[in-house]
Amino acid sequence: MGWIWEPSRSGFSVMLSGIILWLISSLCLSRADRTFTKVYEPILGTNACFKRLNGTHEIGCRSSSKGDVGILHLIEDKHSINWVLKDGPNPPYIAMLYPIDFTYENIIQFRDSGRVNGVLLLKEKGRNSTSFSKDSTCPNANYGIYNSSSPKHCKNWNPSGNSLLWENLNFPIFYIHSATETDKLLKCFDNFNRPVNGITARGWPLCASQLRSFMLGAVDTPTCLRRSNVFNMNPGAAKVCDPLGDQNIWASLLPHNASSSEPYPNNSLIVIAARIDGASLFDEISPAADSSISGLITVLSIMKHLGDPSIRDQLGSEEEGDNPIKNVYFMLFNGESFGYIGSSRIVYDMGLSNFPFNVSSIRYFIEVNQASVSSSNGSYFLHQSDLSQSKELTDLIEKHKQLLNLKMEVVRPRNEWGLPPSSLQSFLKDRPDLTGIVLTNHKKEYKNKFYNGIFDDKDKISYYYGDRGVYSLQQNVASLAATVSNTVIELLTSSSDLKVTPDPETVDELFHCYLESANCSIFYELTGMKQVPKPYATYVGVATHLTSMSQVCKLVASRYLGYLVENVTESECWKMQKTKGYYWMNESCYDISSINSTEARSPAFLIDGYDWRSGKYSSWTESIWQSFSVRIFIKPSLAHEVITLVSGILMLGLSMLVVGKINEKADIIFESRSEALVC
Distance, CA of 671 to CA of 9 (rounded, Å): 9
Residue 344 has pLDDT above 50, yes or no: yes
What pLDDT, on a 0 to 100 scale, did the predictor assign at position 128?
A: 74
Residue 669 has pLDDT above 90, yes or no: no
Q: Compute the chain's Rg from CA coordinates.
A: 32
Beta-ladder partners of 623:
241
Count CA atoms within 13 Å of residue 565 on its CB side: 21
User: 299: closest CA among 335, 332, 321?
Assistant: 332
Give the lowest-confidence range in 44-58, 342-356, 634-648. Answer: 634-648
First to last CA, the chain: 5
User: 340: closest CA among 619, 650, 628?
Assistant: 619
Assess contact for 23 and 189: CB atoms under 8 A: no
Torsion angle in degrees (nearest 10) through CA of 142, 143, 148, 153: -90
User: 565: closest CA among 595, 589, 581, 592?
Assistant: 589
Give residue-wise pLDDT tens across range 156-194. Answer: 999 999 999 999 999 999 999 999 999 999 999 999 999
Q: How confident is the model at residue 649 (pLDDT cuts 50, 70, 90)?
A: confident
Which of the pair, 261 or 461, is modelled with greater confidence?
A: 461
DSSP per residue, 415-477? -SS-SPS-THHHHHHH-TT--EEEEES-SSS-S-TTTTSTT-SGGGGT--TT---TTSHHHHH
Residue 237 has pLDDT above 60, yes or no: no
What pLDDT, on a 0 to 100 scale, did the predictor assign at position 679?
A: 46
As assigned by CATH, the class of the 245-563 domain is alpha beta
User: Which stretches does DSSP call E strand in 24-155?
Assistant: 41-42, 46-48, 51-53, 58-60, 68-74, 93-97, 116-122
Give residue-wise pLDDT tens across range 241-285. Answer: 999 999 999 999 998 765 555 789 999 999 999 999 999 999 999
Distance, CA of 174 to CA of 257 (rounded, Å): 51
The rounded percent of the chain whose pLDDT value lies above 90 is 78
Q: In whole angstroms, what separates CA 645 from the centre of its chain?
A: 44
Distance, CA of 614 to CA of 419 (rounded, Å): 23
Write out the H or E segment, with its range, that includes residue 111: helix 104-113
Dihedral sign (CA 396, 402, 406, 408): positive
- Provide the 3-class DSSP secondary structure of residue 106: helix
What pLDDT, on a 0 to 100 scale, did the predictor assign at position 554?
A: 97
What pLDDT, on a 0 to 100 scale, did the predictor assign at position 405?
A: 95
Residue 122 has pLDDT above 50, yes or no: yes
User: 96: closest CA among 166, 168, 183, 170?
Assistant: 183
Q: How does the average pLDDT of the chain come out, rounded?
A: 90
Q: In whole angstroms, what separates CA 232 from the centre of its chain?
A: 27
Give the lowest-confidence range in 214-223, 489-498, 602-611. Answer: 489-498
What pLDDT, on a 0 to 100 scale, did the predictor assign at position 428?
A: 97
* Cis peptide preceding 356, ω within 30 of 0: no
Q: How confident is the model at residue 144 (pLDDT cuts 50, 70, 90)?
A: very high
Q: How confident is the model at residue 415 (pLDDT cuts 50, 70, 90)?
A: confident
What pLDDT, on a 0 to 100 scale, did the predictor assign at position 25?
A: 55
Give residue-wise pLDDT tens across range 526-549. Answer: 998 999 999 999 999 999 999 999
User: 404: closest CA among 302, 482, 458, 325?
Assistant: 482
Beta-ladder partners of 625:
215
* pTM: predicted TM-score of the whole model, two decimal places: 0.90
User: 534: closest CA among 322, 267, 285, 252?
Assistant: 285
Beta-ladder partners of 84:
none
Beta-ladder partners of 411:
none
What pLDDT, on a 0 to 100 scale, did the predictor assign at position 598?
A: 97
Write out the H or E segment, with its range, that includes residue 601: strand 595-601
Amino acid identity, residue 443? K
Distance, CA of 130 to CA of 389 (rounded, Å): 39
- Provide the 3-class DSSP secondary structure of residue 300: helix
> What are the extents of the domains in the chain?
42-223+627-635, 245-563, 640-679
What is the DSSP pairing of strand 380-384 with strand 327-333?
unpaired
User: 210: closest CA among 641, 642, 633?
Assistant: 633
Would you say how long the chain is, in residues?
A: 679
494: left (phi > 0), else alpha (psi -120 to 50), else beta?
left
Dihedral sign (CA 509, 511, 513, 516): negative
Distance, CA of 241 to CA of 239 (rounded, Å): 6
Residue 32 has pLDDT above 70, yes or no: no
What pLDDT, on a 0 to 100 scale, did the predictor assign at position 657?
A: 82
State which of 113-127, 565-579, 639-653 shows the largest mean pLDDT. 565-579
Rounded alpha-carbon distances, angstroms, from residue 363 to 266, 355, 492, 509, 631: 7, 17, 12, 32, 57
For 494-502, what is the mean pLDDT? 90
User: 365: closest CA among 444, 426, 276?
Assistant: 426
Q: Report phi then psi at 555, rounded to 5.
A: -65, -40
What pLDDT, on a 0 to 100 scale, did the predictor assign at position 646?
A: 81
For the chain, how long is the longest CA-to-CA vector? Answer: 124
CB neighbourhood size of 214 (10 A): 18
Give the lowest-confidence range in 393-402, 404-413, 654-663, 666-675. Answer: 666-675
Write out the H or E segment, with its range, that includes residue 186: helix 179-188
Q: How confident is the model at residue 677 (pLDDT cuts 50, 70, 90)?
A: very low
Distance, CA of 586 to CA of 524 (rounded, Å): 8
What pLDDT, on a 0 to 100 scale, did the predictor assign at position 659?
A: 81
For 450-473, what is the mean pLDDT? 95
